[in-house]
Structure 1
């Protein structure tokens, strides 16, 4: 089943859980990373953010996919407001940029990350989920951006990444009115890729991660790094980059063998949903 140990072995401080703030387990080619402050609803403080960055960096070196989930009652209730302190505008700016850097390591890393979501996926927790490549929500999951009701503004990338998933108008609704989305509404809006019964998100996320771990690396590179950038390009520039990535992937070492398997009827054909 692989190895299991803490990504952050430093001693706990007041307000932290005893032990690691983030746990790490390697199961075959998939790294399982868990936020581990259950009594704090996995609220994100600076030390948890650092531990998460270390775990993601480790996974990039020894796994081919990641499942990211939360221990305890929820995925994450967001920024740890209990540790919030008065900051100058400059300090807030650099604090926000630190969140951006850690979440960019998830989004722009070498391997795909699947979030398994349950319970509160709120504020910074939603921003972290939006940094992942796929999101599996169970029926208990709910999504909110309460910063607007607290007199602050999002700082972990929601203005770009949550807005791109939901649309700016839906995100504005959440921030201006405090609207909370359940799992089904999140799926309809494009925030969740899959909705499953309560307690089943980790199993579904693991299934998807195993499937992605078997993908050809050059195809994964194209999906993780070219596809998001193409969305920001003009049509002609996007098509040009698509052609470049197609040339790279289709001349890679795994492409010939996989295509030959399909042509010679050794590879599985595409089947309909539920088949």
Structure 2
């Protein structure tokens, strides 16, 4: 799977890992096999000890154009259901990674491709990016988490606009609406995403894990419950060896060596 000829590649960059979509001839259209490889890649990264992950594309003109409709055109209803479980596992594997994930988006990120980006903690997009959830124009409902992740990111109104019209959104509007987190120059998405992931990976693994968990869990509860989640995260970090090392390193004017 990690080879240069694979539809999904896994690379290591020290404490950071990169999952790269590489189905060049199809602009990374998600086939059943590619979805299986993506889930395998997430499991490989999970077991490799990475502290942050970048999800990127090796295809110049696209991050991912969504599901492979040519493959789907030949599926029976039973085939759709079988593929559905494979796709759910793939999106769930990316969304469920235990460390922060940064998407590096350029070109088209549509349908399941945009949903893959939404599964990540942060989305870096360059000025060539075009995002959208056009499923309703094909008689389908977003099924990679789009109807749930997008409203949580940008609110119900903006999400309804994109999901119900199926329209494409170019990079500057996407940044203005909060569909992406950082807008960078053309071709800079991968470099910036790796820089962000590297900064995350340099921080305390215990603190990052608990802070991320507090953000994710807190968004679905009221403020009082959210503050209790935050307090539990704070306690888990402050009584850890990472906190002791972090304070000691600051006093000694040196980089921390996280336990």
- TM-score exceeds 0.5: yes
Q: Across the two proteins, how many residue pairs are aligned to each other?
A: 252
**Which residue in 2 is equivalent to 1:180?**
168
Q: Deviations over 1:210-232 (max 9, x none)?
A: 11111211112213333211111
**Which residue in 1 is equivalent to 2:213?**
225
Q: Distance in 2 between matches of 1:259 and 1:183?
A: 41
**Which residue in 1 is equivalent to 2:253?**
266
> Which of 104, 125, 148 matches 2:92?
104
Structure 1 pair 160–24 and aligned structure 2 pair: CA distance change class (3 A): same
Q: Distance in 1 between matches of 2:115 and 2:151?
A: 10
Q: Distance in 2 between matches of 1:50 and 1:39?
A: 18
**2:123·2:181 contact (CA, 8 Å) conserved in 1?**
yes
> Which of 51, 54, 57 matches 1:64?
51
Q: Distance in 1 between matches of 2:199 and 2:68?
A: 34
**1:108·1:225 contact (CA, 8 Å) conserved in 2?**
no
Structure 1 pair 67–103 and aligned structure 2 pair: CA distance change class (3 A): same
**Which residue in 2 is equivalent to 1:20?**
6
Gaps of 5+ in 2: none
Residue 93 of structure 1 and its aligned partner are, at CA, apart by 5.4
Deviates more, 1:29-38 or 1:101-110: 101-110
**1:108·1:224 contact (CA, 8 Å) conserved in 2?**
no
Residue 57 of structure 1 and its aligned partner are, at CA, apart by 1.1
**Which residue in 2 is equivalent to 1:247?**
235
Indicate the RMSD between aligned Cα atoms, in angstroms. Answer: 2.1
What are the within-5 Å matches in structure 2 for residues 59-208 of structure 1?
59-62=45-48, 63-72=50-59, 73-84=61-72, 85-88=74-77, 92=80, 95-208=83-196
Q: Distance in 1 between matches of 2:211 and 2:93?
A: 16
**2:211·2:233 contact (CA, 8 Å) conserved in 1?**
no
Q: Distance in 1 between matches of 2:32 and 2:169?
A: 27
Q: TM-score by structure 1 length?
A: 0.85
Residue 79 of structure 1 and its aligned partner are, at CA, apart by 0.6
Residue 86 of structure 1 and its aligned partner are, at CA, apart by 4.3
**2:110·2:132 contact (CA, 8 Å) conserved in 1?**
yes
Gaps of 5+ in 1: 1-5, 10-17, 269-275
**1:42·1:75 contact (CA, 8 Å) conserved in 2?**
yes
The structure with more helix, counted as a fraction of residues: 2
Q: Distance in 2 between matches of 1:254 and 1:136?
A: 29
Residue 92 of structure 1 and its aligned partner are, at CA, apart by 4.5
